[in-house]
Amino acid sequence: MKEEQEPIRIALLGTGSIAQVVHLPILSSMPGVALQGVADLDRPRARAIAERMQVPRLFESDDAAIESDEIDAVVICTPSHLHEELAIAAMRAGKHVLVEKPIAFDAEGAERVCRVAEETGRCLMVAMNYRYRPDIQALKPFVRGGELGDQFFMKAGWLNRKIRTLRPTWRHRLETAGGGALMDIGTQVLDLALWTLDYPQVERVVAHLHPGEGMEVEDSASLMVWVRNGPLLSIEVTWSLLAEKDRHYLQLLGTRGAASVSPLSVYKESEHGLLDLTPQIAPGRENLYTASYRQVLTDFVQRVRSQEPVAPPREQIELMRVIQLAYRSAREGRVVEV
């Protein structure tokens, strides 16, 4: 086990929005962590961030950070098309890896990354921060314990406010993003739905995509997912919500109860009437988004420090298989059987 007084030395690959909003601020103040360096193709931006956050090293490239003896682990926040190759290269260089979603563009890529994690014994995590939200953590035991009866319908969505861009970025190009809203935020929402249900076997999928204006990818997606011995899933995501703020939700209906976030609520039917079983969650100083990422990074650091064997996230292979099927369904205009 790594000595408690020795910090986990981390390099951040990619200094875009997700890195600046959550990873950099959290890692720079996390006990037991040394944010040792950053790397980005946009070197002026990376240099400015390194100076502002007092990060010791500005690596010339992702490869330089991965090969450095000064680094124990990397957090990958690069454009999505680099996730698979960087995760594999980092683990083969002896580094532990936390990678932003998606882990790869397809199930085969996800399989390759997980296989290298097994071969090298390195810790591999995907930043599915929804799982770490306190309201989701409070809701899941009701689902797992069967208190809602036979679950027959689940609806989940992530609707982002529309923000007009001056010019397309890597997120709007198929080659670098692998897809649009479905690949970007849809992977997170679908993972949350399937994880809440302990990843049941998916049987068939139907999807509809709406093309984004001035983009090579979709700006909105809706899909229905049938799972074995579980509820019908309805998933909705968009980058084009015309509203004051983003919307995030999950609703689950069962024969004896119902649960939802946000806000968190749990109701159960009994012989005495309807019971409100909504857990009370202590208000936190951070918003749910930042708080959930703090838990992701804390969990990652604890796993790295323990140096105990950690099973790779093989459920991500199934997740990306379903995403592939959804894109195929949209192209062919039909329900796709698994």
Taking only the tens place, the pLDDT of each residue in 142-166 is 999 899 999 999 999 999 999 887 7
Does the structure show a pLDDT above 80 at 225? yes
Q: What is the percentage of the chain residues whose pLDDT exceeds 90?
A: 89
Q: Number of C-alpha atoms within 13 angstroms, CB side, residue 231?
A: 26
CATH top-level class for 130-285+319-337? alpha beta
Residue 3 reports pLDDT greater than 70: no
Tell me the pLDDT tens digit for each residue of 274-318: 999 999 988 777 888 999 999 999 999 999 999 888 899 999 999
| Domain ranges in the chain with CATH number 3.30.360.10 | 130-285+319-337
Angstrom distance (rounded) from CA 35 to CA 326:
38
For the chain, percent of residues with pLDDT exceeding 70: 99
- List, in sequence order, the alpha helices (H) in 121-223: 134-144, 174-177, 181, 187-196
Class of residue 271 by CB neighbours under 10 A (exposed 0-12, middle 13-18, buried 19+): exposed
pTM value > 0.85: yes
> How would CATH label the architecture of 8-129+291-312?
3-Layer(aba) Sandwich (3.40)
Residue 157: φ, ψ to 5°: -155, 160
The 10s digit of each residue's pLDDT in 232-278 is 999 999 999 999 999 999 999 999 999 999 899 999 998 888 999 99
Q: Are 216 and 233 in contact (CB under 8 A)?
A: no
Report strand pairing: 73-76 vs 8-13. Answer: parallel
pLDDT at 335: 98
Q: What is the pLDDT of residue 1?
A: 46
Question: By three-state DSSP, how is residue 39 classified?
Answer: strand
Inform me whether the pLDDT recorded for 4 exceeds 70. no
Q: What is the mean pLDDT of the chain?
A: 95
- Predicted confidence (pLDDT) per residue in 5-20, tens digit: 799 999 999 999 999 9
Instruction: Report, as an integer, the average pLDDT of 170-177.
Output: 96
Within the chain, strands assigned E span: 8-13, 33-39, 57-58, 73-76, 96-99, 124-126, 151-161, 202-211, 218-227, 232-241, 247-254, 257-261, 265-270, 273-276, 336-337
What residue spans in the chain does CATH classification 3.40.50.720 cover? 8-129+291-312
Q: Give all strands of the β-sheet with 247-254 in edge-to-edge order.
A: 273-276, 265-270, 257-261, 247-254, 151-161, 232-241, 218-227, 202-211, 336-337
Largest CA distance in the chain: 67
